Amino acid sequence: MADIIQLLPDHVANQIAAGEVVQRPASVVKELLENAIDAGASTIKLIIKDAGKTLIQVIDNGKGMSVTDARLSFERHATSKIRNAEDLFQLHTKGFRGEALASIAAIAHVELKTKQEQDDVGTSIVIEGSNVVSQDVVVTPKGTSVSVKNLFYNIPARRNFLKSNAVELRHIIDEFHRVALAHCDLGFALYNNGSETFNLPVSNYRQRIVNIFGTKTNEKLVPVEEDTEVLKISGFVGKPEYAKKTRGEQYFFVNNRFIKSAYLNHAIASAFEGLLKSGTHASYFLNLSVDPQTIDINIHPTKTEIKFDDEHTLYALLRSAVKHSLGQFNIAPVLDFERDASLDTPYDLKGKHTSAPTIEIDRTFNPFKDEVEPVQSKSFSSPSSGGASYKKQQTANWESLYVGLESKSNDFETETDFSEVQFESEETNASIFEDDSAVEQVNTTYQLHNKYIVSTIKSGMLLIDQHRAHQRILYEDFLKNITIKEAVSQQLLFPLQLHFSVQEIQILKQLKDDLEHTGFVFSNVLEEAVEITGVPVSVPESEVSIILEQLISDVENEVPDAHFSAADLLAKSMAKSLAIKTGQGLKKDEQEHLVNKLFACKEPNVTPTNKITFITMSVDELDKKFI
């Protein structure tokens, strides 16, 4: 029998390794930025075209490479950081696996230009699909420039799995944020399709957060500091009132390396217990410094997951540090049994004797006497007034005030029948039916646990999920308004100004036209804020910020996928935000109206996200339950 096991060719092995290291353009950005940091650069520039599908270029002013190093950097398992296995547990650098450049070169066109400070000229290497096309001498500034073009050009299947440019760009910006937040002592710049998106100068950690997420972020941050033998914690957490429905602004850094840890995230959530609204998540930007020997960062190809020797201790320290900061800055409620400072005696009156005020009353005073004698004994005295007295003035001819009232009152009693008096009551909504008898005839609904609406049909019973049903109704209404561009808008008495990050403002600019077709009116769009003067009729002013945040999140995560239109995505997102929630009580006429509107929809059976809105149960099925 012939041998069937054989060694893979190098270019195939590189492409398989690329599948682990390079999932999307953002993976290339991460590897190249980390290499630039390890090269000792002080400024790093990232240039993107077509969300990285056409070009990803990273330029740094680091120490550069020699001719030999430049050539060896594209070989598999070539690294400058590891000499033996023990070095894996003493890592203080970023890229160490020795597979990144080799994997990238296997699936793209790569051009490397590098020069060391002491050299007169640099080196230029062009590689296409693991094959070195050229290696020449070139004039280039000190540092390294790596250009990655036409990603996945030789693996069309992998390229087809990439999302739209908006989604891929969001992943790139996320990686850029992670690296920039971990190294606030370096300058970073990001250029997308020729325009500058971020320009981050060298700054402290708080300024770097503000430069990335907007100036409004500064007032949301609460500092966290803790230094122990096991763990050193520094950074910031967001105030509970600014918690978001998404997990976008949650960053853990261990030894200046971004990580994901559901276990440590639970520690933060536990510290915020009782302070956050249901369904919201706190923001945090925390740096953890631990001994490199106590962690293993080589368990995942992207190095975003880490194993800790003693996770329970880290959990307890992190939770207590965050709770301490929230209490120290009066964010969390605390039990204080001491006297309230506002109730203390003023400084000027401390040690002085205070006499109680006395009140004297003339019990013989009668206002209905013809002549009223001056009051001598009635006085209101206080320690400060020295007992100054008040005298009642005579009220002559006071009877004239009541002249004619008797006749008027008699007339009023004869003309008024109090059995017909109508009392003012709360305003009631107009009935959608013609008369009350119609309501009694049609009213066959019942609300179950403030979640489901039960209604009778000829064959049995109908059970409707009120939240999902309302989603379908609102979705078709919004989609119709966007399509015919005739939405009704209600003007706000005072303009509403909402603050967003630079990236979120760019998304709102793209959606501005469609939002205006639904009824929003934007008076001004600034770099970090939008001013709204009108909202759709069905949208309360307090819900506007929640709707826009949810919409931005849906667009960033592309819910649904790229083959849907922006109008469809907008209608879905707004319907999800504005639909009546589970637990909301509905009146009988509101239940009836919801049922009628649902079955007037084109597709009443499912929500915009294809979840069923109602179920039916026939009489036969009910009869079987009693057998």
CB-CB neighbours of 435 under 10 Å: 9
Instruction: Using pLDDT thresholds of 50, 70 and 90, give the confidence band for residue 80.
Output: low
Candidates 500, 499, 533, 505; CA nearest to 519 is 533
Report yes or no on whether pTM surpasses 0.75.
Answer: no
Residues in CB range of 505: below 8 A, 6 or more apart: 525, 526, 527, 528, 529, 530
Give pLDDT, residue 203. Answer: 92
Question: Per residue, what are the HEC states of 561-622?
Answer: CCCCCHHHHHHHHHHHHHCCCCCCCCCHHHHHHHHHHHCCCCCCCECCCCCECEEEEEHHHH
Q: Which amino acid is at 466?
A: Q
Q: What is the CATH number of domain 213-328?
A: 3.30.230.10
Say if residue 142 is exposed, middle or buried (CB neighbours under 10 Å; 0-12, 13-18, 19+). Answer: middle
Rounded Cα gap, residues 286 and 259, in angstroms: 11
Q: What is the mean pLDDT of the chain?
A: 79
CATH superfamily of domain region 445-616: MutL, C-terminal domain, regulatory subdomain (3.30.1370.100)
Rounded Cα gap, residues 89 and 93, in angstroms: 11
CA 153 to chain CA centroid, Å, is 36
Question: pLDDT (tens digit, 9 = 90+) per residue, 555-579?
Answer: 776 654 444 566 777 788 788 888 8
**Dihedral of alpha carbons 618, 620, 626, 627, sign:** negative
**104, 110 in Cβ contact below 8 A?**
yes
Residue 181 has pLDDT above 90, yes or no: yes
Domain ranges of the chain: 10-200, 213-328, 445-616
Candidates 589, 509, 604; CA nearest to 548 is 509
* φ, ψ at 613 (rounded to 5°): -100, -25
Q: Can you tell me the mean pLDDT for 595-613? A: 89
Give pLDDT, residue 122. Answer: 92
Q: Which residue has the tokens 């510290």?
A: 271
Do you find a cis peptide bond into 560, omega within 30 degrees of 0? yes
Degrees to nearest 5, angle at CA 82 with 80 and 87: 150
Here the tokens at position 68 are 């030999």
Residue 525 has pLDDT above 80, yes or no: yes
Residue 341 has pLDDT above 70, yes or no: no
Question: pLDDT (tens digit, 9 = 90+) per residue, 28-65?
Answer: 999 899 889 988 899 999 999 999 999 999 999 988 88
**Fold of the CATH domain 10-200:** Heat Shock Protein 90 (3.30.565)
Rounded Cα gap, residues 175 and 152, in angstroms: 20
Assign 258 to helix, strand or coil: strand
Q: CATH topology of 213-328 equal to that of 445-616?
A: no
